Amino acid sequence: MSDVDRLLEIMARLRDPRGGCPWDLEQDFASIAPYTIEEAYEVDDAIRRGDFPALRDELGDLLLQVVFHAQMAREAGHFDFGEVVRGICDKLVRRHPHVFGDAVVETAQAQTDAWERQKSAERAAKGERSAMDGVPLALPALLRARKLVSRAARAGLADGAPPAEDPLTARRIGEMLFSAAALAERAGIDPEAALRDANADYEARMRELETRR
């Protein structure tokens, strides 16, 4: 038995109504999702600290989240772990025709451009018509803001990122963000909620621009 098969078997035992773990049996997709996000952040933390033993453990915890969701999906008749693996294998091959096909990509930037074109085609195939479609609402507001601005720029929308009048560095940007958070605190405003609202306004403006093109 492979290590992956053993992990799948353990997860199935934990979810077995006859003798499984009561806590695991009570969970559903919504209750497990916060743990999935938390484990991803813990992977990031281990990488930032350069702690590879911790990274090994955190990657295992993150893999468990995938297996947990796949097991619940299998029980509900939606899909199973094998379909998850096949899906990502197919996607990787499809998005790298220069490796698995005859396409020629000579630079990392050219690959990035090709990747974005492929993702746009995939979103269109799913019925997503706006460049703003498919940016998860569950993302942290600052990360979602970055993705929305990036999508708008790639789509050639006029109202992309605002121009910078002064030279900007990572330190300066950090100071501006910190100042904004401090200002929000003094005003009794949740900065995350405020940025979520700004994201929603920006997204609505982008969608409106798209309808005028």
52 domain residue, yes or no: yes
Task: Enumerate residues 6+ apart whose C-beta is below 8 A from 135.
Answer: 144, 147, 148, 151, 203
150 domain residue, yes or no: yes
Please tell me whether residues 140 and 212 are part of one structural domain: yes
Please tell me whether residues 14 and 86 are part of one structural domain: yes
Task: Enumerate residues 6+ apart whose C-beta is below 8 A from 179.
Answer: none
Please tell me whether residues 83 and 14 are part of one structural domain: yes
State how far Cα 76 lies from the chain centre. Answer: 24
Last residue of some domain: 42, 76, 93?
A: 93
Last residue of some domain: 93, 122, 154?
A: 93
Count of the separate structural domains present in the chain: 2
158 domain residue, yes or no: yes
103 domain residue, yes or no: no
**Contact, 148 vs 135, CB < 8 A?**
yes
Last residue of some domain: 34, 68, 93?
A: 93
Please tell me whether residues 85 and 156 are part of one structural domain: no
Task: Check which CATH number belongs to the domain holding 12 and give it.
Answer: 1.10.287.1080
Residue-by-residue pLDDT tens, the chain, 213 positions: 899 999 999 999 999 999 999 999 999 999 999 999 999 999 999 999 999 999 999 999 999 999 999 999 999 999 999 999 999 999 999 888 888 888 887 787 877 777 777 777 777 777 777 878 878 887 887 778 877 877 787 777 755 455 566 678 988 888 888 888 888 888 888 888 888 899 999 999 999 988 887
178 domain residue, yes or no: yes
118 domain residue, yes or no: no
Q: Domain of 207? A: 136-213
DSSP annotation string for the chain: --HHHHHHHHHHHHT-TTT--HHHHH--HHHHHHHHHHHHHHHHHHHHHT-HHHHHHHHHHHHHHHHHHHHHHHHHTS--HHHHHHHHHHHHHHT-HHHHSS----SHHHHHHHHHHHHHHHHHHTT--STTTT--TTS-HHHHHHHHHHHHHHTT-SS-SPPPSS---HHHHHHHHHHHHHHHHHHT--HHHHHHHHHHHHHHHHHHHHHT-
pLDDT given for residue 76 in this prediction:
98
Please tell me whether residues 67 and 142 are part of one structural domain: no
d(CA 117, CA 115): 5
114 domain residue, yes or no: no
0.85 exceeded by pTM: no
